[in-house]
């Protein structure tokens, strides 16, 4: 019976800690949003834009297993080596 009580207490403490972490995270998000809204519009516009890397170009079709693209072959998939 004592082990049931101990397990229940541990579960309760875990849930309380989890709830506290979630509430503190939500509070920090609210503070960040409020601080950003209070920023003058000039400062927001002066920020450096983030640079997204362009997506790598994909081939028209999937390369067969064992095919290695080479610079000598005009059609890399036709020169597959198995």
Tell me, what's the pLDDT at 22?
97
Closest to 69 (Cα-Cα) out of 57, 59, 82, 79: 79
Residues 41/42/43/44 CA torsion (nearest 10 deg)? 50
pLDDT values of the chain reduced to their tens digit, one per residue, 82 residues? 778 889 999 999 999 999 999 999 999 999 999 988 887 766 665 666 667 777 767 656 666 777 666 556 656 555 555 4
| Cα–Cα distance for residue pair 55/10, rounded to 1 Å | 47
pLDDT at 81: 52
Q: State the pLDDT at residue 82.
A: 47
pLDDT value, residue 38: 83
């Amino acid at each position: 019976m004592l082990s049931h009580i101990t397990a229940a207490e541990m579960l309760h403490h875990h849930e309380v800690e989890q709830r506290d972490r979630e509430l503190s995270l939500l509070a920090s998000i609210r503070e960040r949003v409020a601080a950003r809204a209070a920023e003058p519009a000039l400062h927001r516009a002066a920020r450096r834009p983030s640079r997204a890397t362009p997506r790598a170009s994909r081939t028209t079709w999937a390369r067969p297993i064992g095919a290695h693209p080479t610079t000598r072959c005009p059609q890399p998939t036709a020169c597959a080596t198995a």
